[in-house]
């Protein structure tokens, strides 16, 4: 898994692109890397264009980030692949998260 974190802009917008799978092996690293960048963030945009798979561990990490962002702003997940969207829909995460 690769994570590309853009610089936080003056409006508190942070864009992050993820590539690969968010699974048991990568979920904790995914969560930790993003959490380290959230100071001052008001809007977190996660680009899932190149995310191939999300496991239950990945869902838990995403939910943790979403909960943190609810306290300081908002989180949006965009460009979700069909297979990842299916996981979100089957688990009800499409109701909990802001998806574009």
Q: What percent of the chain has pLDDT over 90?
A: 100
Please state the pTM of the whole predicted model. 0.95
Residue spans of the domains in the chain: they are 2-99
| pLDDT mean across residues, the chain | 96
> Would you state the torsion angle of the CA atoms of residues 58, 23, 87, 85, taken in this order, to the nearest 10 degrees?
80
Give the mean pLDDT of 71-88: 96
> For residue 80, which phi and psi values (nearest 5 degrees)?
-80, 130
Q: Quick one: fold of 2-99?
A: Transcription Regulator spoIIAA (3.30.750)
Quick one: pLDDT at residue 73? 96
pLDDT in tens, 26-58: 999 999 999 999 999 999 999 999 999 999 999
């Amino acid at each position: 898994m690769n994570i590309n974190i853009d610089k936080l802009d003056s409006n508190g917008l942070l864009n992050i692109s993820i590539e690969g799978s968010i699974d048991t092996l990568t979920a904790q690293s995914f969560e930790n890397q993003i959490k380290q960048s959230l100071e001052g963030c008001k809007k977190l945009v996660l680009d899932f264009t190149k995310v191939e798979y999300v496991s239950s561990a990945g869902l838990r990490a995403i939910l943790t980030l979403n909960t943190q962002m609810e306290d300081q702003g908002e989180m949006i997940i965009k460009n979700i692949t069909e297979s990842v969207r299916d996981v979100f829909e089957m688990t009800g995460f499409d109701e909990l998260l802001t998806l574009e």
